[in-house]
Amino acid sequence: MTLVHETDYGTPAKDGPATVSLEVDGLKVAVPEGTSVMRAAALAGIDVPKLCATDSLEPFGSCRLCLVEIDGRRGTPASCTTPVADGMVVRTQTPKVAKLRENVMELYISDHPLDCLTCSANGDCELQDMAGAVGLRQVRYGYEGANHLDSVKDQSNPYFDFDPAKCIACSRCVRACDEVQGTFALTIEGRGFDSKVSPGAGESFMDSECVSCGACVQACPTATLQEKSVIQLGMPSRSVVTTCAYCGVGCSFKAELRGDELVRMVPHKDGGANEGHSCVKGRFAFGYATHPDRVLSPMVRDKITDPWREVSWDEAIGTVARRMLEIRAEHGAEAIGAITSSRCTNEEVYVVQKMVRAAFGSNNVDTCARVCHSPTGYGLKQTFGESAGTQDFRSVDKADVIMVIGANPTDGHPVFGSRMKQRLRQGAKLIVVDPRRIDLVRSPRIEAEYHLPLRPGTNVAIVNAMAHVVAAEGLFDADFVAARCEGFEEWVEFISRPENSPEAVEPITGVPAEQVRAAARLYATAGNGAIYYGLGVTEHSQGSTMVMGMANLAMACGNIGRDGVGVNPLRGQNNVQGSCDMGSFPHELPGYRHISDDAVRQVFEKLWGTTLFPDPGLRIPNMFDAAIEGTFRGLFVHGEDIAQSDPNVQHVLAALSSMDLVVVQDLFLNETAQFAHVFLPGASFLEKDGTFTNAERRINRVRAVMKPKSGMDEWDIVCQIATAMGYPMQYDHPSQIMDEIASVTPTFAGVSFERLDQLGSIQWPCDENAPEGTPIMHVEDFTRGKGRFMPTPFVPTDERSTRRFPLILTTGRILSQYNVGAQTRRTANVAWHREDVLEIHPHDAEDRGITDGDEVTLASRVGETRLRAQISDRMPTGVVYTTFHYPGTGANVVTTENSDWATNCPEYKVTAVQVALAHPMALHAESGEANAFASELVD
Ligand code: SF4
Ligand code: SF4
Ligand code: SF4
Ligand code: FES
């Protein structure tokens, strides 16, 4: 595919019908009210020269290149800032405007290095293009006068350079940072000739507030802000549209290549989830895909203490099949199973669960979503009837009040976080429910109306208290409830009990009752109320209860079934939604249909030509327990690092080391691979063809940019293992796997690669009633018919602070790193975050004699680790916080096995701990916990 150049219409689109008709250079065009003359001209196929305008930003009117003449109007107005009017007659090319434009260009060029032939932007420079467009043939002012040509480059950012000598002071970068990203890191300093772009007061980009999202680089019309990769490798010559493999936002990118070398990832304007925006991970952190640490040959060994032996694919696949069959013959099908990965494509996840059910002969398949969003699936299914978020991301543009619970969108879901901030700057109100003062609480031009800094583990008490206020003060939407819901009377009786009042729960949550009352009133009465939540909701012993509590609150206030409302899980990994949709739970077949349902099972039995067991298989924690007991002996781990990501690492390692066969498929020899007998090299997202489904149920295409470096597609490896075990599985292309999924999964009935290529993306359900998908769910009816109110009594977690462990640890993510860090640690993103630190309130630190940067021990009843302290008043007293991106820190060494009552999702967010100054010793042994454990076994 050649390089895709999207049309730039100069100014943003306006909503509404095309009711305004005008004539541009003799061509008739009709556009919505408020559209600029520039955009109308572009829609008529006429490009007006421009430099300061681009359609991702509001018009600014500074460069004066886009002047036009309009019949009946004096002068030469700027087409970017002039709105259309009915009957307008516009002329974009007249001798007068041509002269004016040429003058403007002369001024720009007289203060611009004339090194076009050696410039990194040669061929992709709007200044160069405009010089051609206006027919510039001479520069009368010469180049000897005052200029900026000697300005010093800022090369501090690992991914892009800033060369002020090439800057034309168009402000596009500043406006991109303000309007799109919402970081406000850049300013134009000085006036007139002295105007210059500055990242903070004389700071470098790296020292500024910049979060390296790349929006300014994208917006810059010259080589002033330029990707280092383009400077080094040259301009790309072709592009492939694909999907980011990091978080659940699911941003679309153009992977731009030169030959077969990836030069840069450019956010795709037509991407349904991101609409042209990006974050530092998707935009820049792709270097891990070609990192030398990648293992490209299959390897086997008899014992985990043996050295690895490189083997052919045939031998590796044969070994897996043979040893799985041996275990099955000796211990039964219940003794083998697999864990699927939310990083993999839908097609890969589907074939893994099919392999387990049809070839292994058990239902022992679980997904890493078990440890993050399984309560979402359960809670939303119970109340709404569908295990997925209710809205598309665009919906937030219509929200009047946004409640963010247990999520940190600016770090965890940055592109959606920026969109949310745009809406907040437009005036939507914000409620944040989180122990920690996340960035959203107060950031440039945003201030939360209410921040409820609850004690970890008391979410349900807070949501019940808010609902209590809604019920007691009659703030509920009686019409909505009467028409659309069931169980309301019983729920009101429950929620109105005195123990659910804000005053009663204040001693439990630590949040003043008045604040809870005020927040509840705001959510219930401000118009469209939207709830967004993350793992701070689900990773609790009452995760599922909390999801139902939020659903109750939304239904009571009528905040379901239209734009601007809803209950929206912000999914962690790129394909958490998809891995759940694909039936990789031990109790559910694709489409969330219970394995015990005879009719459903028969559909799959007929298609797969096999008999399926009606009883659910083992969940991940049950697999570990059974492994230690000796009844579960063979595990296929597809693209997950369970030795690092699952709670109570010691227990996980004990389980892994008890098994006869551990097969790991991954890009790198991760911590889990220390315990593997067979290692199967995986493919990076750049090498895959398939689909990911993001947090808004949007199925996006993933397209291979290059061939698998290991020589094998992951879906094909799985099929070959199944075949070698005696169950033939064969597809020619992942599109055939999607066709099979669509044939047996009603919510995917209308999905195919062909349809995805036509529409760009599809939000399921997609069937004959919704052939283009469903952006907003439960519009007329809930999926289950009536929305169901569920009782949600608050039950305190067993994990309490004690004299021995007086603090509560909670965990989260940081923007630059991702999950267990296997990818981002192998990129220049380490420049922002080299280690996990423990955030601790100044008082708690002082009590322990800890100062900023000290090495501390973090101990819980299950384990102990060491890391550096960061004194932070973002934390309330009594609560400490860390991330889990580095194996050396091993945050999960201390997390316990407490879990959600309904789904076993671990209670990562509440661990009673003690923190103390560490005795001096090397911080972060070179290898992680698994390494240490493995060497113990060797010793
Ligand atoms: S990279 Fe993003 S955050 Fe940094 S200055 Fe540019 S727009 Fe702002
Ligand atoms: S850096 Fe680029 S976008 Fe920013 S003012 Fe200069 S030319 Fe314009
Ligand atoms: S927001 Fe998420 S999906 Fe988008 S670029 Fe960043 S990591 Fe990738
Ligand atoms: S593009 Fe209109 S003034 Fe610059």
Q: What is the pLDDT of residues 597-613, one digit of tens each?
A: 999 999 999 999 999 99
Say how far apart CA 642 and CA 134 lie, in whole Å.
Answer: 60
Atom of ligand 4 nearest to the CA of 50: 1
Contact 861, 802 (CB under 8 A): no
Which residue's CA lies nearest to atom 3 of ligand 4? 61
552 membership: H or E segment, kind and range: helix 543-556
- The backbone region for 628, taken as left when phi is positive above 0, alpha when psi lies in -120 to 50, beta otherwise, is alpha
pLDDT of residue 143: 60
Atom of ligand 3 nearest to the CA of 249: 3
pLDDT of residue 145: 66
pLDDT of residue 903: 87
Tell me the β-bridge partners of 856: 867, 917
- Calculate how far, in angstroms, residue 409's C-alpha sits from the geometric centre of ligand 1: 17
Q: Does 292 have pLDDT greater than 80?
A: yes
- Calculate how far, in angstroms, residue 253's C-alpha sits from the geometric centre of ligand 3: 10
Residue whose token pair is 């083992």: 618
Which residue's CA lies nearest to atom 6 of ligand 2? 167
Atom of ligand 2 nearest to the CA of 166: 7
- Calculate how far, in angstroms, residue 58's C-alpha sits from the geometric centre of ligand 4: 11
Give first-to-last CA distance, the chain, whole Å.
Answer: 54
480 pLDDT tier (thresholds 50, 70, 90): very high
pLDDT of residue 847: 96
Say how far apart CA 87 and CA 855 lie, in whole Å.
Answer: 72
**Closest-CA residue to 429 (of 521, 502, 514):** 521
937 pLDDT tier (thresholds 50, 70, 90): very low
- Calculate how far, in angstroms, residue 267's C-alpha sits from the geometric centre of ligand 3: 10
Q: Which of 387-401, 410-424, 614-628, 914-928 has the lowest mean pLDDT?
A: 914-928
- Calculate how far, in angstroms, residue 206's C-alpha sits from the geometric centre of ligand 1: 10
pLDDT of residue 926: 39
- Residue ranges of the alpha helices (H) in 510-572? 513-525, 535-538, 543-556
pLDDT of residue 931: 42
Which residue's CA lies nearest to atom 1 of ligand 4? 50
Say how far apart CA 855 and CA 852 lie, in whole Å.
Answer: 9
**Closest-CA residue to 66 (of 45, 86, 44, 81):** 81
Say how far apart CA 154 and CA 708 lie, in whole Å.
Answer: 37
137 pLDDT tier (thresholds 50, 70, 90): confident
Say how far apart CA 697 and CA 384 lie, in whole Å.
Answer: 15
pLDDT of residue 146: 66
Q: What angle do CA 859, 863, 869 make, to 5 degrees?
A: 35
Ligand 3 pocket, 277 CB below 6 A? no
Ligand 4 pocket, 50 CB below 6 A? yes
Q: Does 85 have pLDDT greater than 50?
A: yes
Residue 648: phi and psi, rounded to 5, are 45, 70
Atom of ligand 1 nearest to the CA of 199: 5
**Closest-CA residue to 241 (of 693, 684, 686, 698):** 686
Atom of ligand 4 nearest to the CA of 52: 4
Contact 374, 900 (CB under 8 A): yes
Say how far apart CA 807 and CA 912 lie, in whole Å.
Answer: 6
Contact 396, 402 (CB under 8 A): yes
Q: What is the mean pLDDT of the chain?
A: 93
Say how far apart CA 475 and CA 470 lie, in whole Å.
Answer: 5
Ligand 4: which of 9, 37, 47, 52 to mutate, most ligand atoms within 8 Å of CB?
A: 52
- Calculate how far, in angstroms, residue 412's C-alpha sits from the geometric centre of ligand 3: 9
Q: In this predicted model, what pLDDT tens digit does every residue of 327-375 receive, in sequence order?
A: 999 999 999 999 999 999 999 999 999 999 999 999 999 987 777 778 8
Ligand 1: which of 157, 212, 227 to mutate, most ligand atoms within 8 Å of CB?
A: 212
Helix (H, G, I), strand (E, B) or coil at 645: helix
Instruction: Pull the structure tokens for residue 607.
Output: 């298609």
920 pLDDT tier (thresholds 50, 70, 90): low
CB within 8 A of 259, min separation 6: which ones? Answer: 237
Helices (H) and strands (E) in the chain, counts: 29, 38
Q: How far is CA 442 from the centre of its chain?
A: 22
- Calculate how far, in angstroms, residue 49's C-alpha sits from the geometric centre of ligand 4: 8
Global pTM reads 0.94
Which residue's CA lies nearest to atom 2 of ligand 1? 213
pLDDT of residue 611: 96
Helix (H, G, I), strand (E, B) or coil at 308: coil
731: amino acid identity, one letter: Y
